[in-house]
Amino acid sequence: DAKTTQPTSMDCAEGRAANLPCNHSTISGNEYVYWYRQIHSQGPQYIIHGLKNNETNEMASLIITEDRKSSTLILPHATLRDTAVYYCIVRVSNYGGATNKLIFGTGTLLAVQP
């Protein structure tokens, strides 16, 4: 049911920027793009989200193309602790906005190499 496409895996050298792409060509105008990650054996962790504009927080930057059909999550200086599965999710909002269903795909396994 996931409406996103991500590469299965990526490698990144420690200290370099990690750029994780995501395609969401069927995204609707009012749907947000969310990024979560799951470090081995832990619960998913929220990273960042956006609608149209690029966003930045203390963890990462999110670049959304003008047509909103794809986005890129950027970890500016990857560390070994950033090794995880990264999920790009288009948020489905129903039920009058009282709650939202996150549909997780298979994600991208990012391996940060020393």
Residue ranges binding another protein (CB under 8 A): 32, 34, 38, 41-46, 49, 85, 87, 95, 97-104, 106
- Distance between CA 89 and CA 103 in Å, rounded? 6
Contact 33, 64 (CB under 8 A): yes
Which C-beta is closer to another protein: that of 29 or that of 114? Answer: 29
Q: How far is the CB of 73 from another protein (least distance, A)?
A: 15
Which C-beta is closer to another protein: that of 2 or that of 74? Answer: 2
Most distant CA atoms of the chain, gap in Å: 47
Contact 51, 91 (CB under 8 A): no
Helix, strand, coil shares, percent, the chain, to 5: 5, 50, 45
Q: How far is the CB of 95 from another protein (least distance, A)?
A: 5
- Distance between CA 70 and CA 111 in Å, rounded? 22
Q: How far is the CB of 13 from another protein (least distance, A)?
A: 25
Which C-beta is closer to another protein: that of 80 or that of 103? Answer: 103
Which C-beta is closer to another protein: that of 16 or that of 46? Answer: 46
Q: How far is the CB of 53 from another protein (least distance, A)?
A: 13
Running DSSP on this structure, what letter comes out for residue 8? S
